[in-house]
Structure 1
Amino acid sequence: MKYYAKIISLNDDIEEEVVLSLGEKEICCFINSAPYALIEKNIYLVELSLSFLNEELISEVDCKIMSFTRIDESFSYEIIGFLSGNQLITDGVIFQDDIFLEEFLFLDSKYVILKPDRISVSFL
């Protein structure tokens, strides 16, 4: 999904790391592409996506409380949300990916938990 996001911080040690603010939600992301110089505190149009380095781990969950929790100081998150078609609706953020329809159609209209290896961002 595309959002307008404010850059909270850029990591001097890991040049692909950026912390974005999407309103009240702050997300640590891996920069996939940035065709221009990025400046802290500026607002940019971005596209967010979930990245799985090995296999997609997604399963149904009984919990109906959406959450979005960073795992330690990594790029990984534990996300609980509602799967609707090709969209994962979670706490303050919606992710859109056709893989939800192609491989996880059996989980459509259910609450799910997944752990992406990272949330990737492309600056548009």
Structure 2
Amino acid sequence: MVYDCFVKRLDPQIEEETTIEINGIEFTGFADICPYEIEEGKSYPVSIGFTILDELIIHEIPIEKKEIERIDSGYEYYLRGLLKEDKIDAGIIFTDEDDYFIDFPELINKNVEIKVDRISIEFLRTNNNE
């Protein structure tokens, strides 16, 4: 899914680290794909994903909740929301590009919590930024 994001912060030390806001939700992720120069204080079209470095940690939660919660001060996050076959709606839709969710058919259409190692941000090309 394509979102318009507002770039709040670009880390001067870690080139890919980017803090953005989408629909009032702020988080820090990694700009894995950025085909043009981005600037703080400007808006850009993006798609959002997640990275799992080891094993996917996922479980059902008893309440309906959509949120993205940072774990400590690192890059790990809890994504809480409704699981679909190929995405999770945590207030922002994260697409499962690596087919993790296929192994959890019993959790489809349920509220879950997923621990991700980082959030990936892909800045998309438009006619305005080519």
Tell me the TM-score normalized by structure 1: 0.90
Q: Which runs of 5+ in 2 are unaligned?
A: 125-130
- Is 1:2 matched with 2:7? no
1:1-124 map, 5 Å: 1-90=1-90, 92-97=91-96, 99-124=99-124
Q: Could you say what secondary structure the match of 2:106 adopts?
A: helix
Deviates more, 1:66-75 or 1:47-56: 66-75
What is the number of equivalent residue pairs in this alignment?
123
* Distance in 2 of aligned mates of 1:101 and 1:11: 32
Q: Give 1:114 deviation, angstroms.
A: 0.8
Counterpart amino acid of residue 94 in structure 2 = F
Counterpart amino acid of residue 96 in structure 1 = T
Q: Give 1:101 deviation, angstroms.
A: 4.6
- The share of aligned pairs that are identical, in percent, is 32
Q: Give 1:46 deviation, angstroms.
A: 0.8
Aligned residues of 1:8 and 1:40 also touching (Cα < 8 A): yes
Q: Which runs of 5+ in 1 are unaligned?
A: none
Tell me the TM-score normalized by structure 2: 0.86
* Distance in 2 of aligned mates of 1:45 and 1:66: 22
Instruction: Report the RMSD for the aligned CA atoms in angstroms.
Output: 1.4
Counterpart amino acid of residue 37 in structure 1 = E
